[in-house]
Structure 1
Amino acid sequence: MTSSDAPRFARRATLRRSLRLLGSFRFEQSDPARFYGGLATDTAEMIGDFYADIAGAGLAGTTILDVGGGPGYFADEFAKTGARYIPVEPDPSEMHAAGLSVPGAVRGSGMALPFRDDAVDICFSSNVAEHVPQPWAMADEMVRVTRPGGLIVLSYTVWHGPFGGHETGPWHYLGGEYAARRYRRKHGKEPKNRYGTSLFAVRASEGLRWAATTSADVHTVFPRYHPRWAWWLVRVPAVRELAVSNLVVVATKSA
């Protein structure tokens, strides 16, 4: 990535930010509002930075589609920017899990988004691709519904990274099914993120392959939770699968 690709976010990607985000992961299950609230703030700042660099404008007045928006933790952060925020989520129980009400929320699959072509200015997905069986079909759908020149940001958890197994980690390194069974034996219930049903093994190499073949114009690919000086890890095969933890692809739709 060159300095002209995303200078605003590159300046924001400090070690302090990385430590803050990584530290919040311990609250994902015990205090999801705390975890997702911090992640929402970071996501809005990240998307605002990239849109400012690419479009030369702020988010006010834009239409933003959040693929896999869940219970709506991100809604307030994007409302502060003046954007119109639309979450789409396939699971009705997940939509209401936090007791939040998001006007305009849509129930639908990321793999077949219920929106026309060129419908939104920005389409993003944060930590969702690893939860769908066809993540690259979802990525293609994100491109389809974005207007020409609009921004696409896809961020997902890499399977062989430290957070790949979600609450079943680090046992996912011995296999997703083994990790799920071990969780059930220890806790007496199925994990929320069940391997093969709601959690899938998505690798960094797959995101890079999609970035190389998509019709969209890819601006950068980087590890989300790393400081700027560690972004080179994405370029190293095998190492990136273990060390990247979360891969981000930033693109614009070709005119």
Structure 2
Amino acid sequence: MAVTDLFLRQATLARSLRLLSEFRFEQRDPARFYGALAEDTALMVADLWRGAHQGTPSGRTVLDVGGGPGYFADAFAAHGLSYIGVEPDPREMHAAPSSGGTAGTFVRASGLALPFADDSVDICLSSNVAEHVARPWQLGAEMLRVTRPGGLAVLSYTVWLGPFGGHEMGLTHYFGGARAAARYTRKHGHPPKNNYGSSLFEVSAADGLEWATATGTLIAAFPRYHPRWAWPMTRLPVLREFLVSNLVLVLQPT
């Protein structure tokens, strides 16, 4: 069984449309949006583990780099995993309602220097974080370092030239990141939360695939939110930069 076989069954057009419909609630109802995203992510990771190991991930430890305020903790706990969230920004850690985050352990730290021993967790996840750090592959290297041999490191990030690369700046990022940020600031009276050059960076699909292949640990790469019939676009140079809105790299250290 390939690592993606089980999750491939979940990658339907109906799922893609459901997640896309939830996206409109990101700003005005983050609990709804991130709750739905967390459940989908936990299901994806659980299916990837089953595909790699032909067994349940229940009881395993998942380290979530950039896990935010706790929505992911509740979702992973529901799947029987022991959750550890790492978040450098205290505002993000406390952004959820008080009921969030009770299912896991939370550590304030940078994903570029994880305060964990080598080979210490079964699964290391980073969901939509790599585009927010200036050195994304240092983040990836840290994820591999702390993941046990035979475990999984799952690095998922928003591709810059995809339709969501500009985040709340919308499609204006196609005119250049700095210009898009300036336009957003003029329109709203404050810089975007995901500000180009400080908290948002250009990360390509090609760079991620090149880095992951060079580690010798890459076992799968696919577009996270697309239906299964669209997965082959990951193999198309240039086109994938525009069509793969979010790339998942699945790595297995040995």
- TM-score for both structures, normalised by structure 2: 0.96
Answer yes or no: is the 8 Å Cα contact 2:74–2:101 preserved in 1.
Answer: no
Instruction: Give the fraction of aligned pairs with identical amino acids, expressed as a percent.
Output: 62
Answer yes or no: is the 8 Å Cα contact 2:3–2:50 preserved in 1.
Answer: no
Q: Is 2:126 aligned against 1:120?
A: no
CA apart distance, 1:60: 1.3
Unaligned runs of 5+ in 2: none
Measured at CA, do residues 176 and 146 of structure 1 come closer, stay the same or move farther in structure 2, by a change above 3 Å? same
1:201-227 Cα offsets, whole Å, 9 max, x none, are: 1011111111210142x2110111111
Corresponding residue SS for 2:202: coil
Aligned counterpart, 2:34 = 36
Aligned counterpart, 2:226 = 226
Q: Give the Cα–Cα distance (whole angstroms) in 2 for the partners of residues 97 and 4 of structure 1.
A: 37
CA apart distance, 1:22: 1.7
Amino acid at match of 1:88: V
Q: How does 1:93-112 map to 2 (within 5 A)?
A: 93-99=91-97, 100-102=100-102, 103-112=104-113
CA apart distance, 1:101: 4.0
Aligned counterpart, 1:154 = 155
CA apart distance, 1:24: 1.6
Q: Give the Cα–Cα distance (whole angstroms) in 2 for the partners of residues 4 and 75 of structure 1.
A: 27
Aligned counterpart, 1:66 = 64
Corresponding residue SS for 2:149: strand
Unaligned runs of 5+ in 1: none
Q: Give the Cα–Cα distance (whole angstroms) in 2 for the partners of residues 71 and 125 of structure 1.
A: 14
Q: Give the Cα–Cα distance (whole angstroms) in 2 for the partners of residues 32 and 49 of structure 1.
A: 25
Corresponding residue SS for 1:111: coil
CA apart distance, 1:4: 2.8
Q: 1:13 aligns with which of 11, 14, 19?
A: 11
Q: Give the Cα–Cα distance (whole angstroms) in 2 for the partners of residues 129 and 17 of structure 1.
A: 24
Answer yes or no: is the 8 Å Cα contact 2:7–2:44 preserved in 1.
Answer: yes
Aligned counterpart, 1:191 = 192
Aligned counterpart, 2:249 = 249
Q: Give the Cα–Cα distance (whole angstroms) in 1 for the partners of residues 62 and 3 of structure 2.
A: 21
1:127-186 Cα offsets, whole Å, 9 max, x none, are: 010001100000010000000100111100000000000001210101111111111111
1:32-82 Cα offsets, whole Å, 9 max, x none, are: 111111110110100000101112221211010000001111011111122
Could you list the structure 1 runs, at least 4 aligned residues long, displaced by more than 2 angstroms after superposition. Answer: 99-103
Aligned counterpart, 1:51 = 49
Q: Is 2:229 aligned against 1:240?
A: no
Aligned counterpart, 1:144 = 145
Corresponding residue SS for 1:60: coil
Corresponding residue SS for 2:237: coil
Q: Give the Cα–Cα distance (whole angstroms) in 2 for the partners of residues 124 and 78 of structure 1.
A: 11
Amino acid at match of 2:108: R
